Amino acid sequence: MRHLEPFPLSTLGGWIVAVLFLAGVGIAFLSFKNQVARLSLEVARAEKDLSQWKKRNMRVQVGIARASSAVELERRIAAWRLGLVKTSELEVVRMEEGKRSDALADTTKRERPLP
């Protein structure tokens, strides 16, 4: 009975399953390889954009530093003829966050009238 079939169907079925499995593994490998290549291009593009943004950020920071320098501000005040003058050190009150000076503490400690 065994030799009646010219080629056993079970062997043929096994080979078909093996070939389909290997084809599936090959297609999955190529798909993953293409995905890795695409993602590496995206990462390279993102890194290039990041370096460009860092350069732009540095240029903007330099521009801000120049525009906010004391010399530049004095030049603009003179050019715009605003009539602003420098304050003396005695006219400047410096406050630390979370601390109150005695003068401010006295003005805020008002007693509430009793009802």
In this predicted structure, what is the pLDDT of residue 65?
Answer: 92
> Residue 111 pLDDT > 60, yes or no?
no
More confident: 90 or 2? 90
Q: Are 57 and 50 in contact (CB under 8 A)?
A: no
Confidence of residue 90 (pLDDT cuts 50, 70, 90): confident
State pLDDT tens for residues 24-81: 999 999 999 999 999 999 999 999 999 999 999 999 999 999 998 988 988 888 888 8
In this predicted structure, what is the pLDDT of residue 51?
Answer: 97
* Nearest-angstrom CA–CA distance, 77 and 37: 57
Q: Could you give phi then psi for residue 97, rounded to 5 degrees? A: -65, 135
Confidence of residue 104 (pLDDT cuts 50, 70, 90): low
